[in-house]
Structure 1
Amino acid sequence: MDTDRFWQLVDRAASADPAAAAESLYDALSALPPEEVLAFERELVRQMGRSNTFLHHAAAETVMGSTSPDVFVSFRTWVLAQGREVYDAFVADPDSLASHGPDDDEQVGAAESFEGVALDAWSAQTGRDPYAEGSGVPVGDSVYDEPSGTRLDDAQRLARFPRLAAAYVGGSPADGPAPIVRR
């Protein structure tokens, strides 16, 4: 699946409500052959890798304080589920998310359903467990890989993301997770 086809499917499903986006995407993927669904999954992992940096992690922390690996994946998935324009802007400049970011923790938490939609659709089509050895699902890169780059400290983070810091109450990663609250 090429990048444009991937984004056509995502853009048609895009929504601030990741559960609704996941449902719409599931319907679209279910109409594709299983090998296309796996190709979508591979492209999803590739696209998610574009925002798997400590710079993007620092942006997530500006919005929500301390961010575990799972929450960071859900945060990036939520951004991706907003569509290509928002995601490409976030990849290029994470501070751009200030005007398009999540309104609450539930949006980010619900993004897990969007993250797993391709493998859910594939499993329904094939009757196989995508996580079982020998299932046919390719293994390798993961949305849970360690971010690349260098961590930002609090001063660097706040200086790098003035719009996010102005848009969200956020918090310091040293203080632990904070609820997502817009100013």
Structure 2
Amino acid sequence: MASESNAPPLEKTADLLDEDRYWSIIHRAQEATEDLEEMEEHLIGEVEKLTPKEMVGFYLRTSDLEQKAYTSELWCAAYIINGGASDDGFEYFRCWLISAGKDVYYKAIEHPDSLADLVEEGNDYEFESLTYVPITSFENKTGQDLYDYVETISYTVKEMEFTWEEENLESQKKICPKLYAKFRGE
């Protein structure tokens, strides 16, 4: 679907979507869906209702929330929960964390081990598709590439000092004891 001819011209923006509005969209998608595949489709439809500028803002807000969750302790939680977590795997885990909602997200940033009450063995806790939702919505609505309207997509990645090691199970257990017990059986 192309944009209407009487619509204002699209301009680049670096404005993030209001955080409360962002979380409201995520919350509505959670309530309306039963799995991540359905959630992706629902979110695409919801984001298409936004203006093109707001769609870029949704993309930027998602990126901002991903960066805020870029911590060694959360990476440890992802590693335990998913049985490993590469750079990409940790990014997709953070997208899943965002899809779990505002309360879960902020609680997990403060206390990653709190996820032990939410996650179950045998499930996949990654949601790569969340990063594509605004891109797809933007293209569906405008027929154009969202990246052409992002003023800036660069973030300074925090220098991470790992507080745990893949081969040192005790270091993982120290950071996330409940998750470790749940997934490692100790």
Same fold (TM over 0.5): yes
Partner of 2:3: none
CA deviation after TM superposition for structure 1 residue 64, in Å: 2.5
Structure-2 change in CA distance of 1:142 and 1:73 (3 Å)? farther
Structure-2 change in CA distance of 1:102 and 1:71 (3 Å)? farther
Partner of 2:27: 11
| TM-score using structure 2 length | 0.78
Pick from 138, 141, 146 the counterpart of residue 151 of structure 2: 138
Provide the rounded CA distance (Å) in 1 between the counterparts of 2:48 and 2:120: 28
Partner of 1:52: 70
Pick from 81, 85, 97 the counterpart of residue 99 of structure 2: 81
| TM-score using structure 1 length | 0.79
Aligned counterparts, 1:63-142, within 5 A: 63-101=81-119, 103-108=121-126, 111-131=127-147, 135-141=148-154
CA deviation after TM superposition for structure 1 residue 4, in Å: 0.8
CA deviation after TM superposition for structure 1 residue 157, in Å: 1.6
CA deviation after TM superposition for structure 1 residue 53, in Å: 1.3
Provide the rounded CA distance (Å) in 1 between the counterparts of 2:158 and 2:34: 26
Structure 1 unaligned spans of 5+: 171-182
CA RMSD of aligned residues (A): 2.4
Structure-2 change in CA distance of 1:74 and 1:161 (3 Å)? same
Query: After superposition, what is the alpha-carbon deviation per residue over 1:119-174, rounded to whole angstroms, capped at 9, x for unaligned?
Result: 1101212212335xxx223343369x56633341232221111110122139xxxx
Structure-2 change in CA distance of 1:56 and 1:32 (3 Å)? same
Partner of 2:6: none
Paired AA for residue 67 in structure 1: A
1:148 matched to 2:163: no
Structure-2 change in CA distance of 1:60 and 1:147 (3 Å)? farther
SS in 2 for 1:168: helix
CA deviation after TM superposition for structure 1 residue 81, in Å: 0.6
Structure 2 unaligned spans of 5+: 1-16
Structure-2 change in CA distance of 1:151 and 1:136 (3 Å)? same
Partner of 2:41: 23
Structure-2 change in CA distance of 1:160 and 1:69 (3 Å)? same
Q: Is the 8 A contact 2:77 2:112 kept in 1?
A: yes
CA deviation after TM superposition for structure 1 residue 103, in Å: 4.6
Structure-2 change in CA distance of 1:102 and 1:36 (3 Å)? farther
